[in-house]
Amino acid sequence: MNAADFTITQLKQAYQSGDLTPADALKSIAEAIDSKDGDIGGYLSYDLDLALADAEEVDLSLPLGGVPIAIKDLINAEGQPCGCASKMLTGKYKAPYDATVVRKLRRAGAIPFGRTNMDEFAMGSSNENSGIKICRNPYDPERIPGGSSGGSAAVVASNTAVAALGTDTGGSIRQPASHCGVVGLKPTYGRVSRYGLVAFASSLDQAGPMTKTVEDAALLLGAISGSCERDSTCLDLEVPDYTAALDKGVAGLKVGLPKEYFAEGLDPEVKALVEAGIKQLTDQGAEVVEVSLPNTEHAVATYYVIATAEASANLARFDGVRYGHRSNSADDLLSVYEKSRDEGLGSEVKRRIILGTYVLSSGYYDAYYLRAQKVRTLIRDDFNHAFKEVDVIASPVSPTPAFKIAEKLSDPLSMYLADIYTISANLAGICGVSVPCGAITEDGKDLPVGLQLLGKPLGEETILQAASTISDRA
């Protein structure tokens, strides 16, 4: 019996029946990792002894009592490495504290177990930018799992984890969830604390669940949501019981279809599967309404100005002085900065730091960064207007299924453009979920496709309500 085959709900039932103990589950998952993850590369490390020590004190009566949760490698968990899949930090930094999301997981009885692979410092959409090792799609190892939370998606899909946490700055939960056939939810900005996350773009980052079912996503979201005195952007609001929304059905729900998201560039087979998923909603009584998000065409450019500017500021701390990699060949202060960052950071991270530093530099701030913030407001206004007419917006997650490894590495712009359907939600600060809606067969392999449901700010209950109608695994 592989405990990682279970959903959260099933594992809790196994504990209650006495068929398993948390220690049994941890050992079983470790065996699954050892036997299967060598071909996938979803994990960067795990510490079974530390997890077993946590399991000795766990309270099984808690909502997530004894449930192991894999953690993306940029979320601090006390006593565990937090390397951001970068040579700058891997092997050089162990977290001395828990991120708020990890602290809340522990409070709910969960056990943080395993550090998942990712694009270095969360900068990428394929997990090919990991500074440590490549991660592969469990459905076809010749293809990418998506990114930046590719490792979290891959370990859930390959049944080497019960569930995982990822982070989403421009689609980094939803896109790999789509490519790996799991559920991935990006909460409203401020619904979940960012304290203890190594920042990429502070006004865009959000942590969220990656699970096998919509019910598990609701359980995990409820555990990690809520106020945090250490994060001034975190909302001090009551956390609802998200699982209560799953049985409401969708009769009378208005579903918006943005015409800009179903235009040129969308793979016809992806479109057909997404439309079939939407039909499940209408068959259950939902009403489809066409909406427009006219500033979608500016979203990618706006995102890559704002995100890189914030990345440039946030990553300035990794300079070889206080912590992280320090070059052994530096002979003065300037060369410490230059050589440490050159040796410790990968090409995609360097590209984004350079771009972000440029748009913030004297003479260019108003032309790029300030203008991008104004366009961001227009994008947010588009969603506000659309949500006056509809309850939820449905769309593809990605224009294509998972592409082959190295297929787009020489053309980073095409990689950026593939994020067109996910980026706007981060710019607007709204919530979104990717839910499996079928698969395309290519080269004899079934490649999963996800349908994206976007909700108004703090509309997680509504998107979960709709997602539970679509998912075959709910």
For residues 412 and 424, what is the distance between their CA atoms, to the nearest angstrom?
19
Residue partners of 111: CB distance under 8 A and separation at least 6? 22, 26, 51, 54, 55, 58, 66, 67, 68, 69
Percent of the chain with pLDDT strictly greater than 90? 92
Which one of the listed residues 86, 125, 126, 172 is annotated catalytic?
172
Which one of the listed residues 125, 148, 193, 471 is annotated catalytic?
148
Confidence (pLDDT) at 50: 97
| Residue 72 bears catalytic tag | yes
Do 54 and 108 touch, CB atoms closer than 8 A?
no
| Residue 312 bears catalytic tag | no
The H or E element spanning position 306 is helix 299-314
3-class SS of residue 285:
coil
Residue range 175-182: average pLDDT?
Answer: 98
Confidence (pLDDT) at 414: 82
Angle at 238 between CA 237 and CA 241, to 5 degrees: 140
Confidence (pLDDT) at 176: 98
Specify the DSSP class assigned to residue 84: T
Domains, the chain: 3-245 (3.90.1300.10), 254-294+384-406+421-470 (3.40.190)
Residue range 155-166: average pLDDT?
Answer: 98
Q: How far is CA 57 from the centre of its chain?
A: 29
For residues 70 and 183, what is the distance between their CA atoms, to the nearest angstrom?
15
> How many other C-beta atoms are found inside a 10 Å radius of the C-beta of residue 103?
21
Q: Which residue has the tokens 């991935």?
A: 184
Confidence (pLDDT) at 417: 84
pLDDT exceeds 50 at position 31: yes
Number of continuous H segments (helices) and E segments (strands) in the chain: 15, 11
pLDDT single digits (tens) 366-393: 889 999 999 999 999 999 999 999 999 9
pLDDT band of residue 472 (cuts 50, 70, 90) is very low
Confidence (pLDDT) at 474: 37
Tokens representing 471 are 């998912």
Confidence (pLDDT) at 362: 82
pTM of the predicted protein model: 0.97
> How many other C-beta atoms are found inside a 10 Å radius of the C-beta of residue 156?
31
Do 467 and 247 touch, CB atoms closer than 8 A?
no
Which one of the listed residues 12, 28, 72, 424 is annotated catalytic?
72
pLDDT single digits (tens) 105-119: 999 999 999 999 999
Tokens representing 243 are 């699982």
